[in-house]
Structure 1
Amino acid sequence: MAGLVVSLVSFVARAKMCLQSDSGANATAYSLLVALVALGIIGGANLFAALGG
């Protein structure tokens, strides 16, 4: 679990760097990508919990 959190923090840090250095259109695309990844993680955690994991 700790490895997942470290990976997620690293991903968010890289996404922040990209957002600061890119144009508005690219920043929007990266923001949507980060949001979709976050939704996937939340959904997977909920599914795992619902299945009794």
Structure 2
Amino acid sequence: MGARTPRQDEAVGLANATRFGPVANVRTSNPGRAPPPRPRRRVRHGGDQLPQPA
């Protein structure tokens, strides 16, 4: 991926702004693409998690 010209950068920024609303961060590490999926927190279904009856 070559360096973008300011004009292309502007276009991408505008596209991002329209897609994500006014609070879009134009300078993302991967503009124009969806962010990588966040790793799911692993939930342990163990007895320790459950509240113990008094």
TM-score interval, smaller chain: 0.3 to 0.5
TM-score by length of structure 2 reads 0.36
TM-score by length of structure 1 reads 0.36
